[in-house]
Homo-oligomer: A and B are copies of this chain.
Amino acid sequence: MDTDSVRWRLLAEGEDANMLTRAQVYSAQERAAAMLHGAEIIITPGERAGIEVADFGLGELEQTGLELIVYVNTDRYCAKELVLFPRQTCPEHRHPPRGSDPGKEETFRCRWGEVWLYVEGEPVLAPRARIPQGHEAYYTASSEIRLLPGEQHTIPPNTLHWFQAGDEGAVVSEFSSTSDDASDIFTDPRIIR
């Protein structure tokens, strides 16, 4: 998962009907900060003020979205803290190869709450996540992995994946190779990046 406050249109206001307002962004930041606090994860005031709120351009943040802090992103590795509200979904995407780089490899480690993670592979018969209504065509990866606090899973490069928090939400640490959101490919063509 990669974000960019400009390309994912986080803070500018009123550009079109789908755009998050400043008030919506601020409210989501407040809520994410409270969840981090509840998970005993300490952040600086600067990190608190800069929490990224990504609605992927769909204008339905509660359903499809993600809140996050990028701790570090060098040309070699990256670490982020992700916050998902209850049942909030990070939509399906993959990190393709770029030149000599095989694509971003990433590890999700659940710190608090519950995460339903889906990757390519053997499909589960009765998935526990609820695909956002009307978006079914854009969720194809259906091999299910449940992550509880302390549990983690590594996604190989160029592998379709998506995830949704359980009923209480989730806090997830992401460890990865360098992060370049410009290269992410989403299954849903409506996603603005």
Output the nearest chain B residue to A175 by Cβ-Cβ distance: B79
- Check if A176 sits within 8 Å of B42, measured CB to CB: no
Which residue of B42, B44, B107 contacts A111 across the interface (Cβ within 8 Å)?
A: B42
Q: Report Cα–Cα, A71/B107, bound state, in Å.
A: 9
Q: Give the copy number.
A: 2
Contacts of A109 in B (CB 8 A): 71-72, 79
Q: How many residues of A contact B (CB 8 A)?
A: 28
Output the nearest chain B residue to A45 by Cβ-Cβ distance: B150
Top 10 nearest A-B pairs (CB, nearest first) are A40-B40, A79-B175, A42-B149, A77-B77, A42-B150, A76-B177, A72-B107, A44-B150, A43-B150, A77-B177
